[in-house]
Chain A
Amino acid sequence: MRISRVKVSNFANFSDINVETGESIVIVGENKVGKSNFVRALQLILDPGLSERDRQLGLEHFWDGLGEDKLGETIEVAIELTDFTDDPRLMAHLNDCVVDPGPPMVARLTYRFQPKANLGRDPETLADYEYIVFGGDDPDMAIGASLRRMLPLDVQVALRDAEKDLSSWRNSPLRPLIEQLATSLDEDAREEIQEQLNEAQTELAGHAEVVATAERISERLVAIAGEQHAVPVTLGLAPTRVDALLRSLRLLIDGGTRGIAEASLGTANLIFLALKSLELDRLVTDGERDHTFFVVEEPEAHLHPHVQRLVYRYFLGSVDDGEDASPLTTILTTHSPHIASVTPIRSIVLLRYDAEQEATVAVSTATAPLTERDEADLQRYIDVTRGEIFFARGVILVEGDAERFLVPAFAEALEIPLDTLGITVCSVSGTNFTPYVKLLGPRGLNIPHVVLTDRDPIGDGHPRVRRRLINLLELLEEGVNYRRLDADAVIARAEPFGYFVNDNTLEPELFTGGLAEEMKTIIEEELPIGDETREALQEWVDDPDTLDEDRLIALIERVGKGRFAQALAPHVSDDTCPDYIRQALERIRDAVT
Chain B
Amino acid sequence: MQLRSISAAYLAQASELAGNPGQQAAYDSAGHCIVLAGPGSGKTKTLVLKLARIMAEDVRAPRGAACITYSQECARELTRRLERLGLREAPNLFIGTVHGFCLRHLLMPYGRLADLPVPLPLTVATQRQGDQLLKRVGDRLFGVGHPNKPIDLGRHRRSILDRVSVAWREEEELAAWAEGYEAELRRAGLVDFDDLVIFGQRLVSEHDWVLPLLQAKFPVLAVDEYQDLGVALHRIVKRVAFDGGVRLFAVGDPDQSIYGFTGADGALLQELAARDDVERVQLQLNYRSASRIVSASEMALGEARGYQSHDPDRQAVIAFVECDDGLAGQAAYAVSEIIPAALAAKPGRSLGDIAILYRDFRAGDIVAEAATAAGLDFVRVDNAAPYRKVALTSWIEDCAGWCAGGWREARPQLRGSLDRWLGFHRARISDEQARVEAQRLTQLLWSLRTDDGLARDFVAALKAGMLDALMAAEASLSDQREQVGRMVAALAIGGPLADLDLASLGGRDGSPLHLNLLTLHSAKGCEYDVVIMVGLDLGSLPWRNELPAARRESRRLFYVGLTRARDEIHMLYSGFVDTPRGRMHWGRSPFLDELEERMQEAEGDE
B-binding residues in A (CB < 8 A): 52, 85, 88-93, 95-96, 98-103, 105, 132-133, 136-138, 140-147, 150, 286-288
**CA–CA, A347 and B209, complex, Å:** 28
Most chain B CB inside 10 Å of its own CB: which residue of A85, A91, A288 = A91
The answer on a CB contact under 8 Å between A287 and B429 is no
The answer on a CB contact under 8 Å between B113 and A89 is no
**CA–CA, A232 and B491, complex, Å:** 86
A-binding residues in B (CB < 8 A): 2, 60-64, 92, 108-110, 112-114, 207, 209-210, 212-213, 215-217, 219, 425-434
- Chain B residue numbers with a CB within 8 Å of A100 are 113
Chain A: which residue is nearest B214 at the CB level? A95
The answer on a CB contact under 8 Å between A96 and B430 is no
The answer on a CB contact under 8 Å between A89 and B431 is no
SS of A interface (majority): mixed
Given known A-B contacts A88-B219, A287-B60, A141 and B427 have beta carbons under 8 A apart:
yes
The answer on a CB contact under 8 Å between A95 and B216 is yes
Chain A: which residue is nearest B91 at the CB level? A146
- Chain B residue numbers with a CB within 8 Å of A89 are 60, 62-63, 216
Q: How far is the CB of A477 from chain B (nearest CB, A)?
A: 38
- Chain B residue numbers with a CB within 8 Å of A137 are 112
Given known A-B contacts A92-B62, A101-B113, A136-B109, A144 and B2 have beta carbons under 8 A apart:
no
Given known A-B contacts A93-B62, A96-B109, A287-B60, A132 and B216 have beta carbons under 8 A apart:
no
**CA–CA, A140 and B108, complex, Å:** 11
- Chain A residue numbers with a CB within 8 Å of B92 are 92
Chain B: which residue is nearest A52 at the CB level? B432
The answer on a CB contact under 8 Å between A146 and B209 is no
- Chain B residue numbers with a CB within 8 Å of A102 are 209
A to B CB contacts below 8 Å, 28 in the list: A88-B63, A88-B215, A89-B60, A89-B62, A91-B212, A91-B213, A96-B427, A98-B110, A100-B113, A101-B110, A101-B113, A101-B114, A105-B209, A133-B430, A138-B112, A138-B427, A140-B425, A141-B427, A141-B428, A142-B428, A142-B430, A142-B433, A143-B428, A144-B428, A144-B434, A146-B62, A147-B62, A286-B2
Chain B: which residue is nearest A150 at the CB level? B62
**CA–CA, A137 and B120, complex, Å:** 12
The answer on a CB contact under 8 Å between B2 and A287 is yes
- Chain B residue numbers with a CB within 8 Å of A99 are 113
Chain A: which residue is nearest B428 at the CB level? A142
- Chain A residue numbers with a CB within 8 Å of B113 are 98-101
**CA–CA, A90 and B63, complex, Å:** 9
**CA–CA, A260 and B426, complex, Å:** 55
* A-B complex: 5 closest residue pairs judged by Cβ atoms: A91-B216, A101-B209, A140-B427, A142-B430, A88-B216
Instruction: Give the residue of B109, B114, B219, B425 whose beta carbon is less than 8 angstroms from that of A95.
Output: B109
Chain B: which residue is nearest A288 at the CB level? B2
The answer on a CB contact under 8 Å between B431 and A145 is yes
Q: How far is the CB of B380 from chain A (nearest CB, A)?
A: 39
The answer on a CB contact under 8 Å between B426 and A140 is yes
- Chain A residue numbers with a CB within 8 Å of B2 are 286-288
Given known A-B contacts A105-B209, A146-B62, A91 and B429 have beta carbons under 8 A apart:
no
Chain B: which residue is nearest A55 at the CB level? B432
**CA–CA, A143 and B210, complex, Å:** 21
Given known A-B contacts A100-B113, A101-B207, A92 and B216 have beta carbons under 8 A apart:
yes
12 further contact pairs, Cβ within 8 A, besides A103-B209, A142-B431, A146-B61? A88-B215, A90-B216, A92-B217, A98-B109, A98-B213, A138-B427, A142-B428, A142-B430, A143-B430, A144-B428, A144-B431, A150-B62
Q: How far is the CB of A593 from chain B (nearest CB, A)?
A: 48
**CA–CA, A105 and B219, complex, Å:** 19
Q: How far is the CB of B112 from chain A (nearest CB, A)?
A: 6
Q: How far is the CB of B351 from chain A (nearest CB, A)?
A: 47
Chain A: which residue is nearest B104 at the CB level? A96
Q: How far is the CB of B403 from chain A (nearest CB, A)?
A: 29
Q: How far is the CB of A568 from chain B (nearest CB, A)?
A: 64
**CA–CA, A124 and B305, complex, Å:** 75
Q: How far is the CB of B198 from chain A (nearest CB, A)?
A: 21
**CA–CA, A141 and B109, complex, Å:** 9
Q: How far is the CB of A133 from chain B (nearest CB, A)?
A: 7
**CA–CA, A123 and B220, complex, Å:** 47
Q: How far is the CB of B438 from chain A (nearest CB, A)?
A: 14
Chain B: which residue is nearest A95 at the CB level? B217
**CA–CA, A147 and B61, complex, Å:** 10
**CA–CA, A91 and B108, complex, Å:** 16
The answer on a CB contact under 8 Å between A142 and B427 is yes
Most chain A CB inside 10 Å of its own CB: which residue of B92, B108, B114 = B108
- Chain A residue numbers with a CB within 8 Å of B430 are 132-133, 142-144
The answer on a CB contact under 8 Å between A142 and B429 is yes
**CA–CA, A133 and B207, complex, Å:** 28
**CA–CA, A77 and B433, complex, Å:** 21
**CA–CA, A133 and B113, complex, Å:** 20
Chain A: which residue is nearest B429 at the CB level? A142
**CA–CA, A243 and B63, complex, Å:** 36
The answer on a CB contact under 8 Å between B428 and A96 is yes
- Chain A residue numbers with a CB within 8 Å of B64 are 92
- Chain B residue numbers with a CB within 8 Å of A142 are 427-431, 433
**CA–CA, A99 and B112, complex, Å:** 9
Chain A: which residue is nearest B207 at the CB level? A101
Most chain A CB inside 10 Å of its own CB: which residue of B64, B215, B428, B429 = B428
- Chain A residue numbers with a CB within 8 Å of B210 are 101
**CA–CA, A441 and B108, complex, Å:** 42
**CA–CA, A225 and B63, complex, Å:** 71
Chain B: which residue is nearest A147 at the CB level? B62
**CA–CA, A138 and B121, complex, Å:** 10
- Chain A residue numbers with a CB within 8 Å of B213 are 91, 95, 98, 105
**CA–CA, A506 and B318, complex, Å:** 114
Q: How far is the CB of B200 from chain A (nearest CB, A)?
A: 15
**CA–CA, A91 and B215, complex, Å:** 9
**CA–CA, A89 and B110, complex, Å:** 18
- Chain B residue numbers with a CB within 8 Å of A147 are 62
Chain B: which residue is nearest A100 at the CB level? B113
Given known A-B contacts A100-B113, A144-B431, A145-B431, A88 and B212 have beta carbons under 8 A apart:
yes
- Chain A residue numbers with a CB within 8 Å of B62 are 89, 92-93, 95, 146-147, 150
- Chain A residue numbers with a CB within 8 Å of B112 are 137-138
- Chain A residue numbers with a CB within 8 Å of B434 are 144
**CA–CA, A105 and B210, complex, Å:** 11
The answer on a CB contact under 8 Å between A85 and B110 is no
Q: How far is the CB of B60 from chain A (nearest CB, A)?
A: 7
- Chain A residue numbers with a CB within 8 Å of B108 are 96
Q: How far is the CB of B451 from chain A (nearest CB, A)?
A: 38
**CA–CA, A141 and B108, complex, Å:** 10
- Chain B residue numbers with a CB within 8 Å of A133 are 430
Q: How far is the CB of B210 from chain A (nearest CB, A)?
A: 8
**CA–CA, A8 and B267, complex, Å:** 56
**CA–CA, A101 and B213, complex, Å:** 9
- Chain B residue numbers with a CB within 8 Å of A140 are 425-429
The answer on a CB contact under 8 Å between A91 and B217 is yes
- Chain A residue numbers with a CB within 8 Å of B431 are 142, 144-145
Most chain A CB inside 10 Å of its own CB: which residue of B92, B426, B432 = B432
**CA–CA, A102 and B2, complex, Å:** 34
- Chain A residue numbers with a CB within 8 Å of B217 are 91-92, 95
Q: How far is the CB of B69 from chain A (nearest CB, A)?
A: 22
**CA–CA, A286 and B429, complex, Å:** 29
Q: How far is the CB of B253 from chain A (nearest CB, A)?
A: 33
**CA–CA, A105 and B213, complex, Å:** 10
**CA–CA, A201 and B507, complex, Å:** 71
**CA–CA, A145 and B429, complex, Å:** 12
- Chain B residue numbers with a CB within 8 Å of A93 are 62
Q: How far is the CB of B427 from chain A (nearest CB, A)?
A: 4
- Chain B residue numbers with a CB within 8 Å of A132 are 430
Q: How far is the CB of A56 from chain B (nearest CB, A)?
A: 11
Most chain B CB inside 10 Å of its own CB: which residue of A92, A95, A141, A144 = A92
- Chain A residue numbers with a CB within 8 Å of B219 are 88
Q: How far is the CB of B215 from chain A (nearest CB, A)?
A: 7
Q: How far is the CB of B453 from chain A (nearest CB, A)?
A: 33
